[in-house]
Amino acid sequence: MKKAIKVAVTGAAGNIGYSMVFRIAKGDLFGADQPVELNLIDIAPAMDKLEGVKMELDDCAFPLLEKIVCTSDLAEGFKDVNWAILVGSMPRKAGMERSDLLKINGGIFTGQGKAIEQYAAKDVRIFVVGNPCNTNCWIAKQSAPSIPADRWFAMTMLDQHRATYQLANKTGVLSRDVKNVVIWGNHSSTQYPDAYNATINGKPAVEVVNDKDWLENDFIPTVQKRGAAVIAARGASSAASAANAAIDTVYALSTPTPKGEWFSVGVCSNGEYGTPKGIITSLPVRTEDGKTWHVVEGLDINEFSRAKIDATNKELLDESNSAKEILGL
């Protein structure tokens, strides 16, 4: 048997955590021959609930699961972990000022960034799901300066999947027939789901859809507001689909990307496509070896896309500047 990969999940007693940890234990991140250890982290008042999650994990008798730690202590939780999946956070609530949100999450993500830097394995990779995920990732990264910039990720795969389904549904094909939709920028309502670089059964999606008005005025807001639509319908925010997207992102970063394809994930910008350097922004990414990754260069950016990409990145720059000011980072 290979040596286990150690995965920490924060907010593990929450809804996304509950939909995610069983799939990690089953082998959905790294394959059916790769053992895993799970470090489940939540706040102290959630420890009883977390113990219940552990009992259920035990009761699955997963062959690949070698150890479970339940803790609210960050030193114990991040000890020697190879992946830190940060789900627990304080999303914006109605009436909440942006500065209050940044203060609360600043406290959470500076603390977690420092603990990861101090205790995690040398090869640790950090993937932030908890909202606002791009800026939370940026805050944690600022707090862990010795961890290289290419190890930090924020989730936009759920938006990519939402956009893929909308294109498939519109054109009467299956989701698997739609490839290479890119989500640019922030995981927020300014995100830009770009169908101009997507294909449907190998043909340009724009030609197959053949409805520019739908693409620019219906498709984009539907994807941008899908999270709110799920809340309105379900009375709770997306959990199983978010957990699925989180699993798909770690898998995508750990497995060579199929030829001719790419996927969306928030990464630290190096100025690609005119994005401001240093922000955590969603870009089209590939990995050839499942370890290192690179931004896919040379995609076509028309005038419409340019304006949308610039707007969402401006929001990210403003968010990180506010975080800098408020948190003194």
Residue 162 assigned as binding residue: yes
**How big is the site for ligand NAI, counted in residues (CB under 6 A)?**
27
Residue 12 assigned as binding residue: yes
Query: Which sequence positions are flagged as catalytic?
Result: 187
Residue 17 assigned as binding residue: yes
Long-range contacts of 203-206 (CB under 8 A, 24+ apart): 205/167, 205/171, 205/178, 205/181
Rounded to a whole number of angstroms, the CA Rg of the chain reads 19
Closest CA to 89 of 14, 156, 159: 14
Residue 306 assigned as binding residue: no
Q: Is 235 left (phi over 0), alpha (psi -120 to 50) or beta?
A: left
**254-288 per-residue burial string, b: 16 or more CB within 10 A, e: under 16:** beebeeeebbbbbbbbeebbebeebbbbbbbbbbe
DSSP class of 46: G
Stretch that binds ligand NAI, among 53-61, 124-132, 160-168, 203-211 (CB under 6 A): 124-132
Length of the chain in terms of residues written? 329
* Residue 43 Cβ vs ligand NAI, minimum distance, rounded to whole Å: 5
| The binder of ligand NAI chosen from 24, 25, 133, 283 (CB under 6 A) | 133
Chain residues 214-253 in contact with ligand NAI, contact rule CB under 6 A: 237-239, 242
Residue nearest to ligand NAI (CB): 14
Chain residues 53-112 in contact with ligand NAI, contact rule CB under 6 A: 87-89, 91, 108
Q: Binding-site residues for NAD(+), please?
A: 11-17, 105, 112, 129-131
Residue ranges that bind ligand NAI, judged by CB under 6 A: 10-11, 13-17, 41-43, 46, 87-89, 91, 108, 129-131, 133, 155, 158, 187, 237-239, 242
